């Protein structure tokens, strides 16, 4: 089965959810006229950026505003939206939470970032998530993770068991470590024999420069599509059935020895 995917590699306006929603709406209009797509992916914290010190003011209560906004877009354009992540306010806590909205405008998954990135002070303003990112996309078992999560291959492998074929990664990955971004994404695709669909942001905030280079990678580790470091929509077509062919060629999931894999 084929899926046409659009990754919105955008520059995020620091601490301004209203402006960022306007940007996303404009990008949707653009791809709607350029190419019909099945899935749209947004970057991490696309409503606020890393304006962490103001999250009490600008975080989304229960994600309600973002969910309503995205639901309208999903039904209007007949797409599934892997909606990057938002700062979601829950009583006295705030999470960095991915939202997945299907074509009917229904929220089908929330995943809160499990590994908080101390170099950007996430642990001072956010709480860790404790649930997985597994969901169904067009009858395909899929998974979503957020940025720093990809440095933890055991967490990714946990998601890729039981016939998971698609891994969505959303990020605000800094420019100085963009080579790590590329190498880690390709490695996750090869070792899990899956498609990796990764959307990063571009631009800057008061403390960081971000590296773009959003990518769509096949289960052999081949780069299907890659953006540069500028605001753009990255398009790619994937044949999900290719995963089964690769996994039959080199049966790493059958040959696993989980009895030996005791992690401390």
**Exactly one of 113, 122, 172, 199 is catalytic; which is it?**
113
113 is catalytic: yes
Structure tokens at 120: 């950007």
Residues in the chain: 264
122 is catalytic: no
Burial of 50 (0-12, 13-18, 19+ CB in 10 A): buried
The CA-CA-CA angle for residues 44, 50, 54, to 5°, reads: 130
**Exactly one of 88, 122, 147, 182 is catalytic; which is it?**
147
**Exactly one of 44, 110, 122, 172 is catalytic; which is it?**
44
Catalytic machinery residues: 44, 113, 147
């Amino acid at each position: 089965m084929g899926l046409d995917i659009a990754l919105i590699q955008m520059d995020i306006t620091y601490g301004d959810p209203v402006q960022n929603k306007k940007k996303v709406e404009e990008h949707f209009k653009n791809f709607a006229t350029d190419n019909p797509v099945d899935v749209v992916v947004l970057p991490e914290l696309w409503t606020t950026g890393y304006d962490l010190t103001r999250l009490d003011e600008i975080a989304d209560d229960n994600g309600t505003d973002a969910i309503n906004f995205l639901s309208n877009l999903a039904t209007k354009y007949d797409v599934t939206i892997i909606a990057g992540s938002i700062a979601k306010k829950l009583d006295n806590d705030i999470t960095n939470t991915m939202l997945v909205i299907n074509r009917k405008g229904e929220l089908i998954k929330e995943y809160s970032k499990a590994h908080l990135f101390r170099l950007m002070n996430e642990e001072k303003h956010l709480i860790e998530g404790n649930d997985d990112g597994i969901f169904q996309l067009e009858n395909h078992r899929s998974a979503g993770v957020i940025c720093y999560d990809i440095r933890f291959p055991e967490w990714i492998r946990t998601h890729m068991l039981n016939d998971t074929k698609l891994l969505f990664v959303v990020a605000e990955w800094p420019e100085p470590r963009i080579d790590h971004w590329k190498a880690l994404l390709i490695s996750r695709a090869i070792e899990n024999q899956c498609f990796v669909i990764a959307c990063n942001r571009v631009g800057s905030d008061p403390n960081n420069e971000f590296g773009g280079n959003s990518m769509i990678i096949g289960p052999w580790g081949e780069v299907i599509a890659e953006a540069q470091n500028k605001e753009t929509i990255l398009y790619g077509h994937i044949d999900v059935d290719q995963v089964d062919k690769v996994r039959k060629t080199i049966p790493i999931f059958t040959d696993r020895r989980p009895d030996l894999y005791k992690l401390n």
